[in-house]
Chain A
């Protein structure tokens, strides 16, 4: 598949949050304001792209030794290790960056997007370049989704009268439902 096409499809048509429905827990929990949402999104872009690139050669090693069944275990350990490493590295060397999105890093290990991207490249048989583009595109798509949801949520909270059973997390589902309807509109996109 053409790389540009893959990038656009992972960013918009098959948006990982609004079409594949992944990474919902942090999306719902952290979308209360735009600033935090963008911080979390940026951290996700960073970690997902990095783990995608690291997990691809590791998976080739697993295929070579015929132990693909262990892929899940190996992927999750790689992800946890990368997150831990980044946290230590940033705290020591990049304190400014660490204070801006360091607090979101430990939460990323349990973000389904990270593991899902690694599982999707296995399922779809991507090569290395495709994996890199797909990881970057999907995580950027997630950043876009959390940014949109947080923006709308702030406005909804400020001006509208939400039924009390839906106050808080309930209304986020409605917002995301409407957004994902809108994203279906990208389906006909051709290049």
Chain B
């Protein structure tokens, strides 16, 4: 019974929307840069996903907490300061405990700041909702992002290097697909994901959006 009631609570709805129906990558097409550039190794994808989840969650909470005292004219720059402070915190933790992954991700850790998901959730949700829901919303969006990253990186790492978490799982005779490790592989895998998930949740864009 408890599970059935859970389905109707606002917490549950926000969480479910972030992961499936409003998945940031597939449906709203935000935060694409890092999802394409990072997903050639599973470990990079997980680290990046957790980083974005952390920054989105904390920045949504902070912005929701101070949403009534920021004048709307300077809100963008206020968000930027909050988001970049959190990103710097994440970057320092990463550099201290996982230096190898930090090196592999390079400038992309810093680019969490300009990841549209963070700003998008702040602008679309955190400015008009209380702290507890903003926290859940940030977490859900981050998890939706991490989920797609994880799936794409599993496919790309197996095909490009024949490994998973750097452990060889394909036979030695497996011809590795070099293109999967490069940019085009990312584009093709993500486009297949967008197609697949949009068919699954029956979300179609109207062609009228394309004006010429």
| CA distance in complex: A181, B114 (Å) | 26
Interface-facing stretch out of B82-90, B130-138, B161-169: B82-90
Does chain B have a CB within 8 A of A125? no
A residues 23-62 with Cβ under 8 Å of B? 23-25, 28-29, 32-33
Check B212 against A154 for contact (C-beta < 8 Å): yes
| CA distance in complex: A177, B187 (Å) | 5
| CA distance in complex: A166, B187 (Å) | 13
Check B30 against A72 for contact (C-beta < 8 Å): no
- Indicate with 1 or 0, residue by residue over B26-39, a CB within 8 angstroms of chain A CB atoms: 00011111001100
Check B111 against A181 for contact (C-beta < 8 Å): no
Contact partner of B107 (CB less than 8 A), chosen from A25, A70, A120, A158, is A120
Contact partner of B37 (CB less than 8 A), chosen from A20, A166, A181, is A20
Does chain B have a CB within 8 A of A148? no
- Indicate with 1 or 0, residue by residue over A157-168, a CB within 8 angstroms of chain B CB atoms: 110000111111
Does chain B have a CB within 8 A of A6? no
Number of interface residues, chain B, beta carbon within 8 A = 48
Sorted nearest first, the 9 A-B pairs with minimum C-beta distance are A177-B187, A168-B205, A173-B191, A24-B32, A119-B107, A21-B37, A112-B114, A165-B198, A165-B195
Interchain Cβ contacts under 8 Å between A and B, 28 examples: A23-B33, A24-B33, A25-B30, A32-B209, A69-B92, A72-B87, A73-B88, A80-B80, A110-B114, A110-B116, A115-B111, A115-B114, A119-B111, A164-B204, A165-B194, A165-B195, A165-B204, A166-B191, A167-B205, A167-B207, A168-B205, A169-B205, A170-B191, A170-B194, A173-B191, A174-B188, A177-B191, A180-B182
Chain A contact residues, CB within 8 Å of chain B: 18-25, 28-29, 32-33, 69-70, 72-73, 76-77, 80, 84, 106, 109-112, 114-116, 119-120, 123, 153-154, 157-158, 163-171, 173-174, 176-178, 180-181, 184
